[in-house]
Amino acid sequence: MVKICGIGAGYVGGPTMSVIALKCPSIEVAVVDISHSRISSWNSNNLPIYEPGLEEVVNHCRGKNLFFSTDVEKHVNEADIVFVSVNTPTKIRGLGAGKATDLAYWESAARMIADVSKSNKIVVEKSTVPVRTAEAIEKILTHNSKGTIKFQILSNPEFLSEGTAIQDLLNPDRVLIGGNQDPEGLEAIQKLKAIYAHWVPQDRIITTNLWSAELSKLADNAFLAQRISSINAMSALCEATGAEVSQVSHALSKNTKIGPKFLNASVGFGGSCFQKDILNLVYICESNGLIEVANYWKEVIKVNDYQKGRFVKRVVTSMFNTVSGKKIAILGFAFKKDTSDTRKTPAIDVCKGLLGDDACLSIYDPRVTEEQIQKDLSMSSSVVKQVSVVGDAYEATKGAHGICILTEWDEFKSIDYERVYENMQKPAFVFDGRNILNVDKLRGIGFIVYSVGRPLE
């Protein structure tokens, strides 16, 4: 019986290991983490992350062949395959600060694996890592383990989208496995491939060398972010010329060489991966002397920052060049719908921009806690007076001068906007940063509406 251990009980490790347990009932899967509170949450009825379908998967497998534990060393030692899904943040100091990936958690995990292992293991990179990280990990493992123990390093990057992670895992468009191309490496690839083959068609399981798999993950996120920045750049031009970005994106989507995905203009992209991975890609390019290539990818992030700043400017200028003392309702704080994740959410920069102009914010998100919002906004005692976190959209908008839609939650489409309008200050403004509302209907009610990439009235 194969035993799997997943190190890291976060957004990647928890769901991934849970689905493997669901689809491979004969395999024992342990998810380990040094955080007692996080593991306690996984063992409770209140999981530490929200993801549609996750609770059902965990409840089906937990206690049968899926276990969550803080006994890291025990489960790593017993495992045949160890998935490592630890955090890989951007370095904040030292060489490459602000761009390079900080691999401190990965190195610590590798040293622990080497120290406690008493048998051969396959170690799988699940975190997003720089190209040739496997080479460094292999050195740490081989130089710190008992001499007779052998390790094979595989790269198996995740391609999950938060909000659809369970469906992405159950029905992936591809699974990528990279490994050494010698006999031992190819054998390890086949063992991991056999696990995924329990539910993933063979033609969707792609095998490559280690370096191609590592780079493919960075390239994947960079290309997706590039599409978002491209359509957002077009949205600015649409507003200036009278074109409508929704019509432009629809025309683009019908080009089979382009396709329809990631062509929705918005206030900007967020999440834990896009900016971090592009900055990592920039650093790798710069380290290899590819300055022009690095500068190209830098522009993707610059356009994203520009879009967020442009949105704040539009709010302030539309409301007679000042929002000082005015109540602004913020509907949505997560970086996208169907997740509680706020990492790099555009809402942070938009809120800070409005607070910088002395606005008073009333924030509502159906999944993000008040504690998390306060943490993300780094709220000082003076800022606390300007921000309230409320329990529903009607409370947030009552007495407000304007509304900012910053997350595309479905419930924001079905709000009674006539009721909202009646309870707002006049003129009442709506700034739709996600282009999810019926602009003409809102204008018919009496709102002054700004929608990204659409001409003003």
Tokens 């040739």 belong to: 132
Mean pLDDT, the chain, integer: 94
Cα angle 309-311-312, degrees, rounded to a multiple of 5: 65
Q: So what's the pLDDT on residue 380?
A: 65
Q: So what's the pLDDT on residue 1?
A: 66
pLDDT top residue among 22 and 160: 22
Q: So what's the pLDDT on residue 154?
A: 96
Q: So what's the pLDDT on residue 455?
A: 83
Distance in angstroms (rounded) separating the CA atoms of residues 368 and 64: 31
Distance in angstroms (rounded) separating the CA atoms of residues 275 and 270: 8
Alpha helices (H) in 48-103, listed in sequence order: 54-61, 72-78
Distance in angstroms (rounded) separating the CA atoms of residues 82 and 62: 19
Q: So what's the pLDDT on residue 136?
A: 84
pLDDT in tens, 152-204: 999 999 999 989 999 999 999 999 999 999 999 999 999 999 999 999 999 99
> Which one, of 340, 430, 329, 318, lies nearest residue 389 by Cα?
329
Tokens of 81: 């395959």
Is a pLDDT exceeding 80 seen at residue 59? yes
Is a pLDDT exceeding 70 seen at residue 108? yes
- Is pTM beyond 0.85? Reply is yes
Q: So what's the pLDDT on residue 128?
A: 74
Q: What is the DSSP string of 5-55?
A: EEE--STTHHHHHHHHHHH-TTSEEEEE-S-HHHHHHHTSSS-SS--TTHH
Is a pLDDT exceeding 70 seen at residue 381? no
pLDDT in tens, 308-325: 999 999 999 999 999 999
Sheet holding 387-389, edge to edge: 387-389, 360-364, 327-331, 402-405, 429-432, 448-451
pLDDT in tens, 340-365: 999 999 999 999 999 999 999 999 99
pLDDT in tens, 415-451: 999 999 999 999 999 999 999 999 999 999 999 999 9
Q: What is the largest CA-CA distance in the chain?
A: 76
Query: Catalytic site residues?
Result: 273
Judge whether 99 and 279 are in contact, CB under 8 Å. Answer: yes
pLDDT in tens, 130-149: 777 888 888 888 887 777 88
Distance in angstroms (rounded) separating the CA atoms of residues 278 and 52: 28
Judge whether 447 and 417 are in contact, CB under 8 Å. Answer: yes
Distance in angstroms (rounded) separating the CA atoms of residues 245 and 233: 10
- The tally of CA atoms less than 13 A away on the side-chain side of residue 46 is 4
Partners of 429 in beta bridges: 402, 448
Is a pLDDT exceeding 90 seen at residue 3? yes
Percent of the chain whose predicted confidence (pLDDT) is above 70: 99
Q: So what's the pLDDT on residue 60?
A: 98
Count CB atoms within 10 A of the CB of residue 266: 27
Using left for φ > 0, alpha for ψ between -120 and 50, and beta otherwise, residue 190 falls in alpha
Is a pLDDT exceeding 70 seen at residue 457? no
Distance in angstroms (rounded) separating the CA atoms of residues 182 and 274: 33
Helix (H, G, I), strand (E, B) or coil at 384: helix
Is a pLDDT exceeding 90 seen at residue 272? no
Percent of the chain whose predicted confidence (pLDDT) is above 90: 86
